[in-house]
Amino acid sequence: MKENSASIPDGLPTPARYYAVVVVVLGIAMTVLDGTIINLALPSITRDLQTSAAQTVWVINAYQITILAFLLPCAALSDVLGYRRVFLCGLSLYTLAALACLACAFFSSLPALVTARAIQGLGAAGMMSVNTALVRMIYPIKLLGRGVAINSMVVAASSVAGPTFAAGILSVASWPWLFAVNLPFGIAVLVLGCRFLPNNPGGNTKTPKTTLSWLDVLLNAAMFTLIFLGVDSLGAREAASASLSARMPVASSVAMILLGIAVGIIYLRRQLRQPLPVFPVDLLRIPVFALSMCTSVTAFAAQTLSYVALPFLLLDAYGRTPLQAGALITAWPLAIIVTAPLAGRAIGRIPDGTLGGIGLGAMSLGLALIALLPSQPTDADIVWRFLICGFGFGLFQSPNNHTIVTSAPLHRSGGASGMLGSARLTGQTLGAVMVAIIFSMADPHNGHGPTLALGVSSGFAAIAGVFSMLRLRTQAR
């Protein structure tokens, strides 16, 4: 794969920029969609492969765990090898693994399918790890805010579009074709990527000339895997479908999480001494970067809390049908899609901390208003509250991502990109833990549990807003 040796001082010229944007957008859309697109097919997979639900769910878990385990190592590697090379290698592996998944599905082999999904997750980790670093190289500085906004909008839309996308495919084909859809897109994106993605060959003089420690990669994988499995086993008690171990005692689940935290402490202490840390502790020493990470983690925790609680509230407490509930919830991502480009245009004119603070304040207000809904609300009562939440999240996400990307040194864009993805996944994991705890204390089916979860979600959004506003003081200093 031939690398373009030309340097890109301030973004790509048109029309090359547009083609490069298509590559990055389609790449992140595929990887995010793949995290949820299989959910709707789990009952069919269980039946056709004659396995249990606890075994089948590993088709999803293998993909998610591998991304968590290798996102930061891929990001650190990209600062040495180059973002273009890591993205294209990840995309190639992702596409080949999609073909392997399709073959395993038709040959009815669950172990092989799970293995192929783990390999696909490794490819997805490579693509996700450099996504925003490539955006920073593609767009000139004056347009970077718009580029980040487009990227944020695609991530937000893809994260909730998986079941809808899967329903469309399953209405005309069987579940193995959920893997086949990645093949034509993957090949097309690979061809365009080889032609149009900008190149940074990893020869930056500020980048340490070193290789990754396999021990650090192993500790990173162990930390995220243990915490994920502990959270997953806790959440399995409150979900209708089993996961790794729905019967695992609470003490065992908590012990797994604590073991993951203990491994993390050892791992992070090692990172403090590394010239090129896998977990970029050097970036966390930048106050505005650290505050932006805290903003992202708490905001995505709030979003996950609400997204899990809302179906229980709408279906069980308010008596809506699944179709009605889905239509009502759609108002939230639609508001994000409308707001994100507007927020992107405001970047550079209004401080990112202010935009994030206003957006998260609106999201907190919207969530509180949903929690205070009457027992028999109309659809209009629900929709306008969802629109406030979506508007607030859309106003926060693009400016916050812009700060994360631009507050890191240019030669550490890969590390910043990996941290951005890790913040989203960490926040979602924290939200899953919180909702599992809440539903274990309050019945999720009579409205009390979802209402409490939405109240806690409003609090998380408010805390995220405080983190965002604190950046104004830090930047002033």
* pLDDT for position 127: 93
Question: Which of 223, 255, 273 corresponds to the end of one domain?
Answer: 273
Judge whether 144 lies within some domain.
Answer: yes
Residues 6+ apart with CB under 8 A from 305: 431, 434, 435, 453, 454, 456, 457, 460
Question: Which of 209, 236, 262 corresponds to the end of one domain?
Answer: 209
Question: Which of 209, 229, 261 corresponds to the end of one domain?
Answer: 209
Residues 6+ apart with CB under 8 A from 236: 242, 243, 244, 245, 246, 248
For residue 347, the SS3 value is strand
243 and 119 inside one domain = no
* pLDDT for position 357: 94
408 and 454 inside one domain = yes
Judge whether 11 lies within some domain.
Answer: no
205 and 220 inside one domain = no
Q: Which of 54, 49, 69 is nearest to 232 (CA)?
A: 54
Judge whether 305 lies within some domain.
Answer: yes
How many CA atoms, within 13 angstroms, populate the side-chain half-sphere of residue 424? 21
* pLDDT for position 51: 83
Could you list the residue range(s) of the whole structural domain that residue 131 is in?
16-209
**Phi, psi values for residue 107, rounded to 5°:** -90, 5
Q: Where are the alpha helices (DSSP H) in 322-412?
A: 322-329, 331-346, 352-371, 379-407
Q: What does R_g of the chain's alpha carbons equal in angstroms?
A: 21
Judge whether 9 lies within some domain.
Answer: no
204 and 337 inside one domain = no
226 and 200 inside one domain = no
301 and 419 inside one domain = yes
321 and 413 inside one domain = yes
What is the full DSSP assignment across 433-449?
HHHHHHHHHS-TTSSHH
228-267 burial by CB neighbour count: b if 16+ within 10 A, else e?
bbbbbbbbbbbeeebbbebebeeeebeebbebbeebbeeb
Judge whether 177 lies within some domain.
Answer: yes
Judge whether 244 lies within some domain.
Answer: yes
149 and 63 inside one domain = yes
202 and 223 inside one domain = no
| Global model pTM greater than 0.95 | no
User: Cα angle vertex 454, ends 449, 456, to 5°?
Assistant: 95
How many CA atoms, within 13 angstroms, populate the side-chain half-sphere of residue 54? 11
What is the full DSSP assignment across 123-164?
HHHHHHHTHHHHHHHHS-GGGHHHHHHHHHHHHHHHHHHHHH
Judge whether 465 lies within some domain.
Answer: yes
* pLDDT for position 205: 45
Domains of the chain: total: 3
Read off the tokens for 178. 């959920």
Reading the chain (477 residues) residue by residue, the pLDDT tens digits are: 334 434 445 778 888 889 999 999 999 999 988 877 887 777 788 888 888 766 787 888 889 889 988 999 998 888 888 899 999 999 999 999 999 998 888 888 888 999 999 999 999 999 999 988 898 889 888 888 888 888 888 887 787 677 677 777 887 888 888 888 889 999 999 999 999 998 875 544 455 555 677 888 899 889 988 888 887 776 554 444 334 444 456 777 788 889 989 998 999 888 888 777 888 888 888 999 999 999 999 999 998 888 878 888 888 888 888 778 878 888 888 898 889 888 888 888 899 999 999 999 999 999 999 999 988 899 999 999 999 999 999 999 889 988 988 888 877 888 888 888 888 888 887 887 788 778 878 887 777 888 999 999 999 999 999 999 999 887 655
The neighbour count for residue 372, using CB atoms within 10 Å, is 12
Angular region, 108: left φ>0, alpha ψ -120 to 50, beta rest: left
* pLDDT for position 81: 85
Whether the Cβ atoms of residue 249 and residue 234 lie closer than 8 Å to each other:
no
257 and 345 inside one domain = no
* pLDDT for position 249: 65
For residue 13, the SS3 value is coil
Read off the tokens for 231. 């959270």
Read off the tokens for 9. 């001082």
443-468 burial by CB neighbour count: b if 16+ within 10 A, else e?
ebeebebbbbbbbbbbbbbbbbbebb
269 and 285 inside one domain = no
Residues 6+ apart with CB under 8 A from 448: 442
Say how far apart CA 152 and CA 336 lie, in whole Å: 9
Whether the Cβ atoms of residue 202 and residue 80 lie closer than 8 Å to each other:
yes
Say how far apart CA 204 and CA 81 lie, in whole Å: 10
CATH code: domain of residue 145: 1.20.1250.20
Whether the Cβ atoms of residue 95 and residue 183 lie closer than 8 Å to each other:
yes
- Residue with structure tokens 């048109």? 14
268 and 285 inside one domain = no
Whether the Cβ atoms of residue 94 and residue 127 lie closer than 8 Å to each other:
yes
* pLDDT for position 211: 65
Judge whether 55 lies within some domain.
Answer: yes
